Structure formats: structure tokens, C-alpha cells
């Protein structure tokens, strides 16, 4: 019988990621997805555990606490299975005792299971942090952050946004708007092409409040109509570049930190990505009284069913009056001014 090596989870993950980086058979996009799952959803649950002691119950609790669609939760569990299979080859985990191979029940986010959870575990920024990011960020990072905080765009929609997509006030519309009509679609390898948004409902207009309007006017002042709002030397940002700009700015402002992993990669614990900001945007809309069908229209979902699938836990928190984020909402600050006008 093989002797198990008692290795802590964090060290094992770092070794695995280093080996993945050397595996030429694995597409870069898939590897980045795995790294994102580990960093954003898994590490904080198991960082103080040894691999051989993680049980199937631990994984089931992780799935229940995932504040995202059931399909993404399944993808994260699949990532863990891949990691534990690697652990078997390293003699960290006995093959028959591999907890990742335990059958995990799929729990839909809008079920009674969510009500049983004490809090949501998506590490959204606090309300104070949102205010701080919106008002103290600078340059390209400020434009990107405000697009996510005040408009709730998807990352590929924000990257494809051009100056001509910014619509001014008209007789029919009292507020300026963003015409969300394009997005970047992934192709073979790491290449992207410009196309329609994720769904037909993704083609929408998003109204812009005064803070975001000022930010976009400043950012686009010297641009031609076909220039991208988020660009480096005239070229649109890649997803990796956009994510790094957002996280580096947060580190500069004292939110989170930047760490070097043993494999030479960089990680940003304590910072927030695009998905976190989009969830925060929806949380603010819910606490402002938006109905699920209205939120579906704003964020570009095909129906309120999709909205409840992804953001159902936020509605649960609101309905149960749980003492969770966001709190202390007042119409006397810039963020709420933008959202009040959005509601109008």
C-alpha cells in the first residue's frame, strides 16, 4: 500500500499550477479558467487543510456556498477532480479515498438550500470599497471600474465598447446611454473576434448616470468614433490585460495584495474581479427595489429565470433582511446618485 504524503492544500495547488504551466497540451484559456476557479472559489476554503483530510462533505459545502450558477459550480468541482487526480499520481491522496470522486448533489442556487446558508461567500467588495474604487481610481482603471460598478457590463462587452456606442441625451431619452451591441468572442487558441453579445437579450441600452458619464466623456475626449474606450496603444484590451489592470489598481489603492507564486505567476489575493463587481452592481439594484425582470433587462439576460439562477442568493438575502452587504445605502453619495438616475 502506498504511503500518503501529508502535504498542505496550498502547497499542493502551487505545485500543480506550476506543472500545468509546463503542459503544452493544455490550452492557455483552459488553464487560466482552472487558475481562476482555484484562486476565486477554492483556496480560502482549504488553505489550512492537508489534502488527505479533505472529505466529500467539504466539497459539498463548497458547492452549496458557490454564489453562481449550478453549471459554474460543476466546472469548479471538475477542476478539483483534476487536481485530486494529480494528487493520486503524487501519492498525496489514496486513489480509493479520493474525495473529489465522491458524488456531489447538484444544488440549484434558488432552492431552500440557499436559505439555510448563513451568508453568501462570493467575496464582493464592501459598499465602502465600491465608493473608494469609484472615486479614487485613475486613468484606464477608473474607466473600467466605473463601467462595471455603474453599468454592470460583462468583461467582453466592456472590451468591445467603442466611442460610437456612447449615446447622448435625446428628446426621447433624458439620460445618456451605452449601446451594448458588440462583444468579443473567443476563437481557436487565445484569439478573439468581435461579434454580438452573449445572448440576443445582451443587445441592450444601459442608461448612464452622472459619475459614469463624466468618466466616459473624459476617457473618450480624444478618441475617434471607432476607437475602443478601453485600449492600449489603440488596441483593445485582452481579458488578461483588463483583469490585471483592475487588480493592480486595487493593490495601489490598498485593497488586496500582489504575490508571486513559486511557478513565477502573479496572484492578487483580496482583490476583486469583473464578476465580483457585476454581482455587486446587481446587489445594489436589488436593494434599490429593482424587480428581477428589470435586472434581467439591465444585465442582458434572456429572462428573469436566468437572473434568479445567477443572482438568486442576493434576492434571498434581501427577502430575509440578512445583515449583509450592501448596507448603509443613502442617496447622498455619488454611487447612489447614479443608481437613482438609472432607476428613473
Give the CATH number, domain containing residue 171: 1.10.443.10
Strand partners, 186: 192
| Residue 107 banded pLDDT, cuts 50, 70, 90 | very low
What is the number of structural domains in the chain?
2
Residues 250 and 220 occupy one common structural domain: yes
3-state secondary structure of 179: strand
Residue with cell 495547488: 13
Higher pLDDT among residues 240 and 245, named by residue: 245
Residues 146 and 251 occupy one common structural domain: yes
**Cβ atoms within 10 A of the Cβ of 18, count?**
14
Residues 85 and 166 occupy one common structural domain: no
Residues 23 and 99 occupy one common structural domain: yes
* 319 domain residue, yes or no: yes
Residue 155's H or E segment, with its range, is helix 155-159
C-alpha cell belonging to residue 324: 449583509
pLDDT at 248 over 80: yes
pLDDT in tens, 162-206: 999 998 866 676 678 899 999 887 655 556 788 888 777 788 988
* 1 domain residue, yes or no: no
- Single out the residue in 107, 140, 173 at which a domain terminates: 107
Residues 101 and 142 occupy one common structural domain: no
Residue range of the domain that includes 102: 9-107
Distances in Å between the Cα of 341 and the Cα atoms of 142, 151, 152, 242, 333 are: 20, 12, 15, 27, 12
Q: What is the mean pLDDT of residues 131-135?
A: 88
* 208 domain residue, yes or no: yes
| Residue 20 banded pLDDT, cuts 50, 70, 90 | confident
pLDDT in tens, 48-69: 788 877 877 777 667 666 654 4
How far is it, in rounded angstroms, from Cα 309 to Cα 311?
6
Residues 336 and 251 occupy one common structural domain: yes
* 64 domain residue, yes or no: yes
Please measure the distance between the N-terminal and C-terminal CA atoms of the chain and give it in whole angstroms.
68
pLDDT at 43 over 90: no
| Residue 225 banded pLDDT, cuts 50, 70, 90 | very high
| Residue 129 banded pLDDT, cuts 50, 70, 90 | confident
Q: What is the pLDDT of residue 288?
A: 80
3-state secondary structure of 152: coil
Higher pLDDT among residues 194 and 99, named by residue: 194
* 173 domain residue, yes or no: yes
| Residue 99 banded pLDDT, cuts 50, 70, 90 | low
Residues 191 and 69 occupy one common structural domain: no
Q: What is the mean pLDDT of residues 105-117?
A: 37
Higher pLDDT among residues 321 and 84, named by residue: 84
Q: What is the mean pLDDT of residues 16-20?
A: 85
Which range has the top average pLDDT, 9-23, 233-247, 275-289?
Answer: 233-247
Pick from 279, 277, 284: which is nearest to 331 by CA?
284
Cα torsion angle, 226, 230, 234, 236, sign = negative
Task: Please state the φ and ψ torsions of residue 54, each to the nearest 5 degrees.
Answer: -75, 130
Angle (CA) 17-42-273 rounded to 5° is: 85
Residues 6+ away with beta carbon under 8 Å from 78: none
Q: What is the pLDDT of residue 199?
A: 75
Q: What is the pLDDT of residue 327?
A: 52
Amino acid at each position: 500500500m502506498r504511503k500518503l504524503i501529508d502535504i498542505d492544500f496550498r502547497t499542493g495547488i502551487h505545485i500543480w499550477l506550476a506543472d500545468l504551466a509546463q503542459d503544452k497540451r493544455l490550452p492557455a484559456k483552459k488553464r487560466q479558467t482552472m487558475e481562476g476557479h482555484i484562486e476565486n472559489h477554492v483556496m480560502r476554503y482549504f488553505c489550512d487543510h492537508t489534502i488527505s483530510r479533505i472529505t466529500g462533505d467539504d466539497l459539498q459545502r463548497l458547492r452549496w456556498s458557490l454564489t453562481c450558477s449550478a453549471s459554474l459550480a460543476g466546472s469548479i468541482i471538475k477542476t478539483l477532480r483534476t487536481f485530486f487526480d494529480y494528487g493520486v499520481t503524487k501519492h498525496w491522496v489514496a486513489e480509493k479515498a479520493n474525495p473529489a470522486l465522491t458524488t456531489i448533489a447538484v444544488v440549484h442556487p434558488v432552492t431552500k438550500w440557499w436559505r439555510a446558508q448563513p451568508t453568501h461567500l462570493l467575496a464582493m467588495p464592501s459598499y465602502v470599497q465600491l465608493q473608494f474604487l469609484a472615486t479614487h481610481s485613475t486613468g484606464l482603471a477608473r474607466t473600467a471600474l466605473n463601467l462595471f460598478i455603474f453599468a454592470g457590463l460583462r468583461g467582453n462587452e466592456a472590451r468591445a465598447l467603442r466611442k460610437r456606442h456612447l449615446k447622448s441625451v435625446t428628446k426621447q431619452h433624458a439620460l445618456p446611454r451605452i449601446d451594448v451591441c458588440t462583444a468579443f468572442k473567443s476563437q481557436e487558441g487565445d484569439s478573439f473576434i468581435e461579434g454580438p453579445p452573449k445572448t440576443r437579450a445582451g443587445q441592450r441600452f444601459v442608461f448612464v448616470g452622472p459619475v459614469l458619464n463624466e468618466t466616459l466623456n473624459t476617457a473618450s475626449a480624444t478618441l475617434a468614433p471607432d476607437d475602443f474606450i478601453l485600449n492600449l496603444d489603440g488596441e483593445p484590451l485582452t481579458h488578461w490585460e483588463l483583469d490585471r489592470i483592475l487588480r493592480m489598481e486595487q493593490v495601489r489603492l490598498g485593497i488586496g495584495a500582489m504575490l508571486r507564486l513559486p511557478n513565477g505567476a502573479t496572484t492578487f489575493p483580496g482583490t476583486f474581479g469583473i464578476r465580483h463587481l457585476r454581482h455587486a452592481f446587481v446587489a445594489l439594484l436589488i436593494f434599490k427595489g429593482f424587480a428581477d425582470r428589470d435586472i434581467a433587462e439591465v444585465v442582458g439576460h434572456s429572462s428573469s429565470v436566468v437572473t434568479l439562477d445567477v443572482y438568486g442568493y442576493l434576492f434571498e438575502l434581501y427577502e430575509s433582511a440578512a445583515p449583509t452587504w450592501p448596507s448603509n445605502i443613502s442617496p447622498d453619495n455619488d454611487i447612489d446618485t447614479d443608481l437613482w438616475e438609472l432607476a428613473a
